[in-house]
Every structure is written in C-alpha cells, then in structure tokens.
C-alpha cells in the first residue's frame, strides 16, 4: 500500500487549512478539517512555538497518521527563558536560564543533538543560548560551557534534574527584565552617539559617516536604521548604473 507524507512547520495548537498545510493536503484527498484538528490536539502543549509535523497518508484508503517532532532548540530556549526572540548579538543578553532548564531542553532534543552524553548535549544547548544572547546561570555561554567542563553541574546533569522552584522562576523573570532594560538603555546610548556623529559630519558622504560609526563600534542594526543602504541610481533605459571598475 502506497503512502505519502506531508511535512510542515506549524505553530503549536494553531494549525489552519491555510498554507503550508492546506494546499499540500488538498490533492491528497484526506479530510483536511480532521487532520488540522488532530494536529492542534497533539501540539497544544507547544503553544507559541513552531513545531515540525508529519502527516502520513495511505493513498488508497485516505487514512492518515500524524507524528509530531520537537520544536527547534531555539524555540524551546525562548519558551524556557520567557522571551519572544533572541538578541541576535551574543554580547547583548536578553535573558538568563538555570542549568535545569538547559538540561530540560537537551533532553527534549536528545535525538537531534550530536553529543554522545547528556553533558555534551547540554553544552550544545548552551552554545545555542549563547548565539541568542541568553545567559546560563548568569554566565556568558563560553564561561557556562567551561563550568560544565569543570564539573560544576555534574550533580544536576547526572540526576537529569529539569525542574526549578517558584523562587528560581521569579529570579529568572527579574533578571530578564533587568537585562532587557539594560539593552534598551544601551540602544539609546548608541543612538545618541550615532546621531552626534551624523551631526558633526553633516554634509559628508554616507559611506564616510558609516565608516566612522563602524570605527566607534556602533552596532550594525543602529547604523542601518539611521543610514539605510542606498540603491544605485538607474542609468538611461531604466537599468541600474554599472558599478565602476576597480583599478
């Protein structure tokens, strides 16, 4: 009996017949409403996260089976850290996680991680935390990985502890608010600095101002916000002018 598989990434508990699922399921002849209802039932616990799903369809009977994967590690980290998105800059920390939360993510993504032991998988998750600007036990990712290597969290990892207390959760929330306020303050500081540069270099070419901002380590996001990339002016005939040849 021939089987067909439809794969998609959906928001937990909020799948609909709109793309990507609806158009992919339509030609298969299954009851789309039943499929969507079953997916939402199975992904309800992943509310607010993107979840990979597979719909396996028997092409002759039109019966279907749904399997749910675990969300990407970054989605699980965002849920544990209580944030909507990472900072995009490892040096701008937006949240802090306890080692128990890292262990929890490592266990949930156990089959998808390359580490041979839970300890190695924990370090992989910390690496993802670092790329998202999320601290672990108030440490930068690099320092947290060293702490794992030094055995600081061997007890928690060996016992596979994944739960934290209400008091610890409160601490995490307070730290998240503090870090986000810190980022907001740093952003205002960078903006003021960048605007001051623009004012003192008024009349200069954009690329000169941009270069000065880069020299003073103004973040790229701020530079692009204040000095958007200029598109080449179109030449005769409506086509963009060719870039000058390098000498």
Same domain for 97 and 158: yes
The predicted model gives 216-222 an average pLDDT of 84
Total-model pTM? 0.62
Same domain for 114 and 77: yes
Tokens of 135: 């601290």
User: 3-state DSSP call for residue 168?
Assistant: helix
The pLDDT of residue 243 is above 80 = no
The predicted model gives 2-9 an average pLDDT of 91
Q: Is residue 206 part of a domain?
A: yes
Highest mean pLDDT among 5-14, 90-99, 216-225, 233-242: 5-14
Q: Is residue 233 part of a domain?
A: no
Same domain for 129 and 99: yes
Which pLDDT does position 98 carry in this prediction?
94
Q: Which one of 49, 68, 87 terminates a domain?
A: 68
Same domain for 92 and 63: no
Same domain for 47 and 78: no
Which pLDDT does position 182 carry in this prediction?
84
Same domain for 147 and 112: yes
The pLDDT of residue 88 is above 80 = no
Q: Which one of 68, 92, 119 terminates a domain?
A: 68
Tell me the pLDDT tens digit for each residue of 29-84.
999 999 999 999 988 878 878 889 999 999 899 999 999 888 889 989 998 998 98
Structural domain boundaries, residue 104: 73-164
List, in sequence order, every residue forming a beta bridge with 139; answer none if it has no partner. 136
Same domain for 119 and 87: yes
Of the listed ranges 26-30, 87-91, 109-113, 166-170, the least confidently predicted one is 87-91
Q: Is residue 243 part of a domain?
A: no
Same domain for 77 and 64: no
Based on the structure, what is the number of domains in the chain?
3
Same domain for 100 and 126: yes
What is the chain's Cα-based Rg?
Answer: 24
Same domain for 211 and 144: no
Tell me the pLDDT tens digit for each residue of 129-180.
999 999 999 999 999 999 999 999 999 999 998 888 888 888 888 888 888 8
44 or 5, higher pLDDT: 5
Model confidence band, residue 91 (pLDDT cutoffs 50, 70, 90): low
Q: Which one of 132, 164, 196 terminates a domain?
A: 164
Q: Is residue 238 part of a domain?
A: no
Ranges of beta strands (E only) in the chain are 3-11, 50-58, 64-68, 95-97, 134-136
Same domain for 146 and 103: yes
Q: Using CB atoms within 10 A of its CB, is residue 19 exposed (0-12), middle (13-18) or buried (19+)?
A: exposed
3-class secondary structure per residue, 38-93: HHHHHHHHHECCEEEEEEEEECCCCCEEEEECCCCHHHHHHHHHCCCCCCCCCCCC
Cα torsion 61, 65, 66, 67: sign: negative
């Amino acid at each position: 009996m021939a089987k067909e598989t439809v794969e998609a990434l959906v928001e937990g508990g909020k799948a609909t017949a709109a793309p990507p699922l609806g158009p992919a399921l339509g030609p298969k002849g299954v009851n789309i409403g039943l499929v969507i209802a079953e997916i939402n039932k199975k992904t309800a616990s992943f509310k607010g996260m993107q979840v990979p799903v597979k719909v396996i369809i028997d092409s002759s009977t039109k019966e279907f089976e749904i399997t749910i994967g675990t969300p990407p590690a970054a989605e699980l980290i965002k849920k544990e850290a209580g944030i909507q998105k990472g900072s995009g800059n490892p040096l701008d920390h937006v949240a802090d996680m306890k080692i128990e939360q890292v262990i929890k993510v490592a266990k949930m993504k156990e089959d998808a991680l390359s580490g041979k032991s839970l300890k190695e998988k924990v370090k992989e998750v910390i690496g993802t935390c670092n790329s998202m600007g999320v601290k672990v036990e108030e440490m930068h990712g690099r320092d947290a990985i060293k702490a794992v290597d030094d055995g600081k969290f061997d007890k928690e990892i060996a016992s596979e502890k994944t739960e934290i207390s209400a008091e610890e959760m409160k601490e995490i929330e307070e730290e998240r608010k503090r870090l986000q306020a810190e980022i907001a303050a740093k952003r205002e500081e960078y903006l003021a600095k960048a605007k001051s540069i623009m004012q003192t270099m008024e009349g200069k070419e954009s690329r000169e101002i941009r270069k000065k901002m880069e020299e003073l380590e103004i973040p790229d996001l701020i530079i692009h916000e204040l000095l958007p990339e200029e598109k080449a002016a179109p030449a005769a005939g409506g086509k963009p002018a060719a870039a000058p040849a390098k000498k």
